[in-house]
Amino acid sequence: MMRIGFLGAGIWLGSLAWLAAGDWPAYRADAARSGCSDEAIPNQLALRWVYRSALAPRPAWPNSDRIDFDQVFQPIIVGDLVLFGSSVDDQVVAIEAATGKVRWRVVTNGPIRFAPVAWEDRVFVAGDDGWLRALALQDGAELWKVRGGPDDRMVLGNERMISKWPARGGPVVVDGIVYFAAGIWPSDGVYLHAIEAKTGAAVWSNGDTGRLFMAQPHGGAEAESGVSAQGYLVAAGDQLIVPTGRAVPAFFDRKSGALQFYQLQQNQQRGGTRAMAADRFLFNAGCLFERETGNLSSQVGLGPSVAVGNGVVQADGRSLKASKWEDAQIIDRKGQSQSVRRLVEDRLVTMEREILDFIVAKGDAICGEDGRVCAVDYAGQRTVWWSHEVEGKALGLAAGNGRVVVSTDQGCVYGFDGVRGAPAVEIAGASKPGVPEVSEVARQAAEEILAKSSITEGYCVDLGAGDGDLAIALAARSKLQIYAVEADAGRVKSLRDRLIECGWYGDRVVVLQADPAKVPFPKQFANLVVSSAAMSGKVSDSIVTEAERLQRPWGGIRCFGNAGAMAAVKKEGLPGAGSWTHQNSNAANTLCSDDSVVKGPLSMFWFRDVDFEIPNRHGQGPAPLVDEGCMVVGGVDGIACLDAFNARTLWIHEEKGNLRDYDGIHHDVGVGETGSNFCLGGGSVFLRNAGRCVQLDLHTGEVVREYRVPMPTGGKEPGAAANQNWGFLGYQDGL
């Protein structure tokens, strides 16, 4: 039986006519993201296989509850295949559902954060490398690909080298058209595309919604902003709906690509990445929005939801609530009669554990929990009739063709079916874990490079990586994250396969096919630049020039030459670069930078999630400070230093009580009255906290000295006075 969403056959019949009877071809089953299938699952389920990734998923925004589209490798089921993409080793993997055998793998040029979507004989994959690829279901062969952004430039995004316009509008297919979006920073451009699924030809592209002068969430505020595509796209009728991360989704005309509405100011703090079309509404972040207007209709709770038949099933902690749609007349606040469409609770099922996510297959809810997946007959007896332990949180679910597939946040994908008696198959993402063998020359060269550069952490680029032995040898002896650049396609594939086998790909080493003399990487980000090609002969001037471009100022090293004769060249400071060492620029509070390098217009250089707690912005805490290539950020109970050129955390100093008074939503005047509690100068960070001031080494975070407030003559012992706190803090000329 073909799956038809409860929105009505008139909407979806043409859209889904190609689907096989029991497929689960997209994230949450269909273009509406309903999470529902009409096919029943087997009444006895057994574990058939487990795929264990060498590394757990790495979400783009691990500390955001509202931007959670990539917590697991989200699976789909098409025919006899289970497919998913990886955010850690950049692969699309196709597994034979009956045997657990890996049929094919395809490696892309960046993390894959969204489930593939299948159509006819192909599957579409969007990735952080900015491309949408059409791959043959049979063998993974590339049929066509479309770039989402205007060019191939890359940036460091979420601690990986990715496209400046990552494809984070997860693809959806309707009526032979595949839609996706690329770009998450409005000022750099956001691009929404409609592509012919068969040919890869463009139907339309909208690149105008990245820079819109529009009303902002704070009442009365207007500014240039735009749509930030972050989440799975939703198609409903003639509408295309784009989740925008923490904000409410934007609505577009699916036929033309024109923006219909994007109501930031009306909805203020509402919004999230998960969206689902149901009836005449869009479910998003616990709210129902009218699809016709984009207006808020009602709030229904933040738990996961599934659209079924003529209603919705919602999870709320340890319960499942089934509701039906109802038209009713109510009296509004003005005493007027008003027609409303609403959900009315029909039945409630109590569970043993918290439901993290769930889907529905016929009358069964398949629930993902922490450490377990279970099936509950929510429409009948309301009991859990099957369960199985899993490793991690079960957040990725699919059901189709007599199978249930479960994916967890530990990188495990489980395949269940109704065939009992056969032993479960274990599939290792890394078939040969361990340290790969390399040549003696590469080993010696790596040891020499590390000794002469004294760099063992950070980003390393190998220009002309060849067979990859040098990159592997460096990774084995350091904590470097290495980008191996090689022009030859055969060598690239061979090196990628080798690294995937040992479980290092994506985490320790990434391989990019490109001209080593002209790499799409940003300038001045690399802590170390080497060249395998230079070990076998004289390196070209163009590669040396490219190495200089990539070197990070204030200590970046390029190390070229033959083994035994390596020459290390250090890049000093950046000519014309200024500093911002105090809250208002300098000790004189001039609010004026002496930098002559930065010119407009500005563009995103790097971005990432925080790895320690910083104060709420409403508390008006201190600004970050910058000097000698270091960016120092004040945090709650501590202070951190980042590499200003690549966002890598250099150190974190714990300081109990630091900035706690600024961590709130009280909208105080903050540092405008109190001044910042830290400043930079003389290669040090000075941090005041209550009655002490700590001097830290700018580059290492080590404590250099501690200062106490001087006591007046004849005063009491330190700490006994009424107020021993430091006030204004500044540094100038050694004082």
From 428, 458, 480, give the residue that closes a domain: 428
**% of the chain surpassing 70 pLDDT:** 95
Does 539 lie in the same domain as 621? no
From 551, 570, 589, give the residue that closes a domain: 570
Write down the pTM of the prediction.
Answer: 0.92
Judge whether 170 lies within some domain. yes
Cα(first)–Cα(last) distance of the chain, in Å? Answer: 79
Task: Please identify which residue in the block is written with the tokens 């592509």.
Answer: 195
Structural domain range at position 643: 576-735
Judge whether 346 lies within some domain. no
Does 137 lie in the same domain as 34? yes
pLDDT tens digits, one per residue of 84-127: 999 999 999 999 999 999 999 999 999 999 999 999 999 999 99
Question: What mean pLDDT do residues 565-594 have?
Answer: 94
20 pLDDT tier (thresholds 50, 70, 90) = low
The yes-or-no verdict on residue 17 having pLDDT over 70 is: no
Q: Is 274 exposed, middle or buried (0-12, 13-18, 19+ CB in 10 A)?
A: buried
pLDDT tens digits, one per residue of 315-352: 999 999 999 999 887 777 778 778 889 888 888 899 99
Does 100 lie in the same domain as 229? yes
Report the alpha-carbon distance of residue 39 to residue 337 in Å, rounded: 41
620 pLDDT tier (thresholds 50, 70, 90) = confident
Phi/psi at 591 (5° precision): 55, 30
Does 86 lie in the same domain as 145? yes
For 81-148, strand residue ranges (E) read 81-85, 91-96, 102-107, 117-119, 122-126, 131-136, 142-147
Are 144 and 134 in contact by the 8 Å Cβ rule? The answer is yes
Which of 460, 467, 499 lies closest to 483, judged by CA? 460
Assigned token pair, 503: 């479980």
Assigned token pair, 447: 């040891």
What's the total number of domains in the chain? 3
Could you say which DSSP state residue 580 is in? B
Assigned token pair, 189: 């451009």
**With helix as H, strand as E and coil as C, how does 248-266 read?**
EEEEEECCCCCEEECCHHH
Judge whether 349 lies within some domain. no
Phi/psi at 688 (5° precision): -100, 140
Phi/psi at 717 (5° precision): -65, 150
Report the alpha-carbon distance of residue 697 to residue 628 in Å, rounded: 12
Residue 104, CB-side half-sphere exposure with 13 Å CA sphere:
12
From 428, 453, 477, give the residue that closes a domain: 428
In terms of phi and psi (left: phi > 0; alpha: psi -120 to 50; beta: otherwise), the region of 564 is left
Task: Please identify which residue in the block is written with the tokens 């007959």.
Answer: 377
- The gap from C-alpha 598 to its chain's centroid, in whole angstroms, comes to 28
The yes-or-no verdict on residue 2 having pLDDT over 50 is: no
3-state secondary structure of 642: strand
Does 552 lie in the same domain as 584? no
Cβ-proximal residues to 349 (8 Å cutoff; 6+ apart), any chain: 319, 320, 321, 322, 365, 376, 378, 382
Report the alpha-carbon distance of residue 231 to residue 60 in Å, rounded: 12
656 pLDDT tier (thresholds 50, 70, 90) = very high
Judge whether 2 lies within some domain. no
Are 77 and 401 in contact by the 8 Å Cβ rule? The answer is yes
3-state secondary structure of 558: strand
673 pLDDT tier (thresholds 50, 70, 90) = confident
The yes-or-no verdict on residue 697 having pLDDT over 80 is: yes
Tell me the range of 29-33, 40-44, 377-381, 590-594 where mean pLDDT is highest: 29-33
Report in angstroms the alpha-carbon separations of 183 from 59, 156, 210, 254, 392: 17, 14, 8, 19, 31
- Predicted pLDDT at 18: 39
Judge whether 350 lies within some domain. no
Q: Would you tell me how many other CB atoms lie within 10 Å of the CB of residue 564?
A: 9
pLDDT tens digits, one per residue of 186-239: 999 999 999 999 999 999 999 998 888 877 777 778 888 889 999 999 999 999
3-state secondary structure of 500: helix
Does 657 lie in the same domain as 516? no
Report in angstroms the alpha-carbon separations of 40 from 206, 436, 563, 614: 40, 46, 64, 48
- Predicted pLDDT at 6: 30
Are 6 and 34 in contact by the 8 Å Cβ rule? The answer is yes
Angle, helix 489-502 to helix 469-476, in steps of 10 degrees: 30
Structural element, H or E, at residue 541: helix 541-550
Q: DSSP for 145-176?
A: EEESSSS--EEEETTEEEESS---EEEEEETT
Which CATH number do you get for residue 167? 2.130.10
- Predicted pLDDT at 327: 87
Judge whether 55 lies within some domain. yes
3-state secondary structure of 449: helix
3-state secondary structure of 323: strand
Does 458 lie in the same domain as 394? no
Does 592 lie in the same domain as 556? no
Judge whether 352 lies within some domain. no
Report in angstroms the alpha-carbon separations of 425 from 97, 415, 422, 583: 11, 10, 9, 59
Report the alpha-carbon distance of residue 12 to residue 15 in Å, rounded: 5
Cis check: omega of the bond before 171, within 30 degrees of 0: no
Assigned token pair, 72: 């697991």
Does 167 lie in the same domain as 32? yes
Cα angle for residues 684, 687, 690 (degrees, 5° grid): 155
Mean pLDDT of the chain: 91
Which CATH number do you get for residue 536? 3.40.50.150
Residue 36, CB-side half-sphere exposure with 13 Å CA sphere:
24
Does 529 lie in the same domain as 590? no
Report the alpha-carbon distance of residue 662 to residue 669 in Å, rounded: 10
Does 679 lie in the same domain as 628? yes
For 158-258, strand residue ranges (E) read 160-163, 169-174, 177-182, 191-196, 202-206, 212-215, 222-225, 231-232, 234-236, 239-244, 247-253
The yes-or-no verdict on residue 669 having pLDDT over 80 is: no
3-state secondary structure of 441: helix
Report the alpha-carbon distance of residue 338 to residue 355 in Å, rounded: 35
Which of 171, 172, 173, 174 lies closest to 182, judged by CA? 171
- Predicted pLDDT at 1: 25
The yes-or-no verdict on residue 658 having pLDDT over 60 is: yes
**With helix as H, strand as E and coil as C, how does 9-58 read?**
HHHHCCCCCCCCCCCECCCCCCCCCCCEECCCCCCCCEEEEEEECCCCCC
Q: How many residues does the chain have?
A: 735
3-state secondary structure of 414: strand
Which CATH number do you get for residue 602? 2.40.10.480
pLDDT tens digits, one per residue of 49-94: 999 999 999 999 999 888 999 999 999 999 999 999 999 999 999 9
pLDDT tens digits, one per residue of 401-421: 999 999 999 999 999 999 887
Longest Cα separation, the chain: 92
For 438-554, strand residue ranges (E) read 457-463, 479-486, 509-513, 528-530
Question: What mean pLDDT do residues 676-685 have?
Answer: 95
Report the alpha-carbon distance of residue 690 to residue 673 in Å, rounded: 17
Assigned token pair, 577: 């670069």
- Predicted pLDDT at 714: 55
713 pLDDT tier (thresholds 50, 70, 90) = low
Does 64 lie in the same domain as 28? yes
Judge whether 298 lies within some domain. no
- Predicted pLDDT at 213: 83
Report the alpha-carbon distance of residue 20 to residue 3 in Å, rounded: 9
Report in angstroms the alpha-carbon separations of 51 from 73, 358, 402: 11, 21, 19
- Predicted pLDDT at 555: 96
Assigned token pair, 283: 């479910």
519 pLDDT tier (thresholds 50, 70, 90) = very high
Which of 635, 631, 695, 640 lies closest to 663, judged by CA? 635
Which of 259, 258, 249, 324 lies closest to 283, judged by CA? 249
Are 156 and 163 in contact by the 8 Å Cβ rule? The answer is no
Report the alpha-carbon distance of residue 492 to residue 485 in Å, rounded: 8
